[in-house]
Amino acid sequence: MAGPLRFELTDKVVVVTGAGRGIGKAIAESCAYYGANLALGSRTVEESAAVAKACAQHGHRAEAWPLDVQSVTSINTFVDQVLATYGQIDVVVNNAGYNVPKPALQYIEEEFDQIVDINLKGSFFMATRVAQSMIDRGIPGSIIMITSQVGVVGGPLRSIYGAAKSGAGHLTRSLGVEWAPHKITVNAVAPTFTRTPMLEQALKNPEFAKNLEKVPMGRTAEPEEIAGAVVYLASDAARMVTGQVLCVDGGFTAP
């Protein structure tokens, strides 16, 4: 009979996008704590480099490179750099996100394109590029999307963001089934309102701030609480879990 599975990431190479702040920073630092080597990407490479330095204090390697997930060329260059440095990628966390909360009637085409490109297009092309590297090397792996509670249920002022995150959730299910024969799991974590700089900016809109009242737990999430779910899905303890969207939302989507 097999023994208990371990909730740890020792020597796994973990990619985190949007790693310079907020949820991405917490994910990177939590993965480092549990033994991972980190490859961090963000448009603000100075911030992700600072996170890499903090991660390295846990005794494992951590590197940062520039990454713009709106650009497939940037994604491919980033992945090539990671593979050249580490030799393989075991886990990718598609965390980079962007939103402009406003009424649907007020959006312009440029805002639509940017929200969809960062939250959906970038996640798809990062996932496929990394999955190909796993398949080529014949190794199992884990791909994790950071989506949103409004990718599961509707939410005012977030029509495009919710649609993009819902699309990422559907990608999770489709790719989870498609890549299961390669022992690649694909899952998503859907957070509630989480204490990040992006949320602080959004809360300046009084209409948006009213949404906090809908969280049954009565508070926002901490970034580390989202990171805990990611560590689980990245670990061998979740090797039979795929195609799932795990809501870390204080009960927001339960009613």
Residue numbers annotated as active site? 161
Contacts of 206 (CB under 8 A, 6+ apart): none
What distance in Å separates the CA atoms of residue 50 and residue 37, rounded to the nearest whole number?
15
DSSP string, 54-110: HHHTTTS-EEEEE--TT-HHHHHHHHHHHHHHHS--SEEEE---------GGG--HH
Which amino acid is present at 143?
A: I
Which amino acid is present at 224?
A: E
Cα distance between the two ends of the chain? 40
3-class DSSP state of 145: strand
